Structure formats: structure tokens, C-alpha cells
Amino acid sequence: MKAEFVDSIRRLLPTVEATALLDALEAGEPTVSVRVNTARGATVPDGVTRVPWCPEGYYIDGERPQFILDPLWHSGMYYVQDASSMFISHVIRQVVNTPVSYLDLCAAPGGKTTAALQALPQGSRVVANEVVPGRALALSDNVTRWGAPATVTREQPRAFSRTPNAFDVIATDVPCSGEGMMRKDAQAVEQWSPALVKQCADTQRQILRDVWPALKPGGLLIYSTCTFNREENELMLDYIADALGAESVAVPVDPAWNIAPGIDTPRPCYRFMPHRTRGEGLFMAVMRKHVKHGDGSSVSATSRETEEPSPRGGTEKRKTRNEKQITINEKSRPDPVLAYSLTADRGAWPIVNLDYPTAIAYLHGEALTLPPDVPRGIVLVAYRDAPLGFANNLGSRANNLYPKPWRIKSHFQ
């Protein structure tokens, strides 16, 4: 690690704690954890270590599995997510009590979005946004596999403010200097500099200014980074409060979780540091937007009386996993999204369960030979009753309809 970074941590924390954090970043092993999709009937296995702040999460001990070779991962039965990031589930369950309009502004690759879809009250409307094209595709794919209705957009933050007061809750997992990812991302170590910290803080302020009008008065902003310094964390909360107009909201936590409090601030905020908690670095806090006198609004984050947000201009907007909004194409092939949709009619197609080798062959895009009793035509193929996608059974063979961009590209040992 760079000497300047080491010095910054030693200025940030008391000596003993700074040394423990630096040791964890330099010599510690990254954790591996997953969050199961309970809406698909998935459960946490017996005998595993659970993530304390997320009932759907658990740690995987030993060598990291090759998740790409697990059909259940492809089917959306679970999501591979750092345990610290799963704290968003706990936060949402503590501060949101009734259906809301929810924007995940910087959503790729989709971990916090799928966690929100799992934690939000039923009936909430979720928009997941990512401005970078490649990352937006990954976001769309991951949200699709999760199966719950959401809208995926590719917008600049300011576009959402063209529909003022559209959201009850906005989550901003903002681009940051990535100090909390240093033990799992060599690039985070190499690219770090004091100039990067300042650049990220400037970008974060701009993002917050741009999206702030889209948050209802009384609505909640969930702010998070994966870094340690105060410029991007506690001082950013001061900016939100003083420049934009908000107050801090406390989230109840169990002291046994060993989450660190904010540094040199009275504001309630939550620091995950790998020498204290089993996971990577994370900072999270909740801010409530002020209700200005005379604005006629008493909206809080516990109501969802709002029009559908409609950002305009240069937009790429896609509804995902709502079968009422998906059409059959001219070749009468069902949209692949329908295979994963939790609201689709499972009785619309015959379901064929594949064994493991055949499921992997399907995910590679290979043609299949199905049992002779399988009806001809479109069938939904599955693994252990978890949907993988569609095939067109011709009798002698079944044509693979798994989308090419989703296919496993390489063969692994």
C-alpha cells in the first residue's frame, strides 16, 4: 500500500485500530458471502455462518466457488454479495414501513438493488439506474435473474430531477476512492491518491445536487461508499445537511455486530471495517430531506403517493420482469425475461428439469436432446425446479433459446 494512504489511515484512527485495519487490508483474505432469493423458495443452508445483519445472507468458508458453473446462480436463486453491502437490507427494513417509490441511482452491478427488492414492502416501485453502458447491461441481467419487477434506466442523475418529488427513497452508492476494496481489488491500491479522494468528493457532491430535487420533502436518502476517509463520508453528510437541507436518521443496530460509529461526528452513521466486521469496507448513513415551510407537503418515506417517474432526454429505459409489459416476438419465442419473472404464469409452458451436465450444456448454448415424453414446442428448462430459460423442442433435438450474451463463454475445469 502507498505510504500516503497508510499515513491517512494513521491520522484517521487511533494507533492500535489503524494498525489493525492496515494489517487486515494487507494480509487479510477477502470474504465470500451470498444472499439467497427467498422469493424463489431458496433458504439459507444448515450449518453455515449467517451474516448477522441480513437474515438471507451467509458466508462461504474455504476456497471461493466457481459460481459461473452453478446453474442455481444463473437462475437467480442467490446473489454473490459482500456481507457488508448486505447492510442495505437491514437499513431498508428499519426505515421503510409501507410501499414506496425507490430509486437506486448508482446501481450496477445490482447487489444493492436486488437486496432492496427483497427488503422493500410489497407494492414498492423500484428504479435501478446506471449511466455506464457496460455496467448498465450487467445491472439489467442481474435484476432480471432476481425476478422481481423493476425498471432499469441509463440516465445522468440530473435527468431524474426533471420529475421533482418523484421518489420517497433514493439510494446513492456513489463512486468513491475505493479504500474499502483494497484487499480484493489491486487496482484500488494502485489508483489511490489524495487527488483521487478530492475528485471523488467533488463528483459525489455533484451527484447529490443533481438528484436532490427528485427526492420528496420528508423522503430518505441512503448514502453509502466503500471507502474510509472522512471527506467522502462524514463530511459529505455535513454537506447534505447544510447545503441541501436534511437531518440524520438513526438506524437501530445490535452492538454485537461490532459496526463502528462515525468519526468525529454526532451524526448516526455506520462504518464496516474488515478488522472489526467480516466483510469489506463500507460506510452507510440515512438522511431525511427537510420539509420546507409552506411547500404543502407532508410526505414521508412511508408513503408512495406519486406519479411514475419519467426522466426525459437521452434515455435508455427498460421494464424488466413484468410479463404484462413483455410481448412475444414475431417468431413466437417468449421473451427470455419471462423465464425468470416471479409474476409470470409458470403454467404457460411445460417445465423440463435438466441434470447438472445437461444444464451446463444448456448454459453454454448447446442444443439439447430431451426425453421423448416432453411435448414439442416451447418448453421452460430448469435445474432443481429453478428456471434457466427456454428451448424449442423439435422432437429429435431441442433448439437452445438461451440468449447469447448470457451464455457461459469458456469451459472450466
The closest alpha carbon to 119, from 130, 129, 111, belongs to 111
The verdict on residue 4 lying in a domain is no
The verdict on residue 59 lying in a domain is no
Structural domain that includes position 268: 83-289
The string of pLDDT tens digits covering residues 78-111 is 999 999 999 999 999 999 999 999 999 999 999 9
Structural Rg of the chain based on CA atoms: 22
The string of pLDDT tens digits covering residues 337-380 is 999 999 888 889 999 999 999 999 999 999 999 999 999 999 99
Q: What does the alpha-carbon distance between residue 76 and residue 364 come to, in Å, rounded to a whole number?
A: 17
The whole-number pLDDT of residue 318 equals: 45
Determine the Cα angle at 211 with ends 154 and 155, to 5°. 10
338 lies in the same domain as 256: no
Q: What does the alpha-carbon distance between residue 358 and residue 117 come to, in Å, rounded to a whole number?
A: 31
With a CB cutoff of 8 Å and minimum separation 6, the contacts of 355 are: none
260 lies in the same domain as 133: yes
The verdict on residue 304 lying in a domain is no
Q: How far is CA 187 from the centre of its chain?
A: 21
Burial label, 134 (beta-carbon count in 10 A; 0-12, 13-18, 19+): exposed
269 lies in the same domain as 336: no
Yes or no: say if 249 and 95 are a contact pair by the CB < 8 Å rule.
yes
Give the mean pLDDT of 374-391.
96
The whole-number pLDDT of residue 293 equals: 63
Enumerate long-range contacts of 38-44, CB under 8 Å, 24 or more apart: 38/118, 39/118, 39/147, 39/148, 39/342, 40/75, 40/76, 40/77, 40/147, 40/342, 40/386, 42/72, 42/77, 42/78
Chosen domain end from 255, 289, 323: 289
Active site residue 269: no
134 lies in the same domain as 248: yes
Q: ω into residue 55 within 30 of 0, thus cis?
A: no
The closest alpha carbon to 288, from 250, 260, 253, belongs to 250
Least confident of 196-205, 248-257, 295-304: 295-304
Q: How confident is the model at residue 324 (pLDDT cuts 50, 70, 90)?
A: very low
Chosen domain end from 289, 314, 343: 289
The whole-number pLDDT of residue 411 equals: 59
pTM assigned to the model = 0.90
126 lies in the same domain as 235: yes
Among the listed residues 54, 176, 200, 226, the single catalytic one is 226
Above 90 in pLDDT, residue 320?
Answer: no
Average per-residue pLDDT in the chain?
A: 90
CATH number, domain of 393, equals: 2.30.130.60
Element (H, E) at 260: none
